[in-house]
Amino acid sequence: MQFDTDIFAQFDKKWALLTAGDKEKFNTMTISWGGLGTLWGKPVATVYVRESRYTHEFMDREDYFTVSFYPESCRRTLGVLGSKSGRDMDKMHASGLTPKQAGKTMTFEEAEVTLVCRKLFRQKLDTASMPKDIAEKFYEGQSDHDMFIGEVVEILR
């Protein structure tokens, strides 16, 4: 497996979609926080999901998820997917993206790269362990994030 790109720009500048569920029922959300690396001798992707997000329910329930990256032409769509909830509308239909099965979970045809991940770990971020300025900026009056770490089992292009 090989992923040839500037991984820091992928999350911070281009954004990504986090998707969990199966072809019968899945949800996706735009993410701009994440990381790639090696943990426990495995290639991993780390993502962060607020407890209040609909996708969080899918991440808790499912064993697999995808992290997919998109061309600049999809930026407007990713903005919509990050601002609307699948609880309130059919985001998949409204997005114009084409759902595609990726192993035991889902991604979209328009993705430049999709990381198929097997969930290994979940943990709540402890705001008491963060610098005060970060906790205040990102968490005051908002729900906490859970960190999910998944083994990258396949890279789709």
List per-residue pLDDT tens for the chain, 157 residues long. Answer: 666 667 677 777 777 999 999 999 999 999 989 999 999 999 999 999 999 999 999 999 999 999 999 998 888 888 777 666 666 666 666 678 999 999 999 999 999 999 999 999 999 999 999 999 999 999 998 889 999 999 999 999 8
pLDDT at 95: 75
The amino acid at residue 16 is A
pLDDT of residue 7: 67
- Which pLDDT does position 128 carry in this prediction? 94
Give strand ranges (E) for 84-141.
99-102, 105-108, 113-124
Look at residue 90 in the predicted model and tell me its pLDDT: 66
pLDDT for res 89: 61
CB neighbour burial string for 76-104, b if at least 16 within 10 angstroms, e if fewer = ebbeebeebebeeeebbeebebebbebee
Query: What is this structure's pTM?
Result: 0.90
Q: Are 102 and 116 in contact (CB under 8 A)?
A: yes
The pLDDT of residue 127: 94
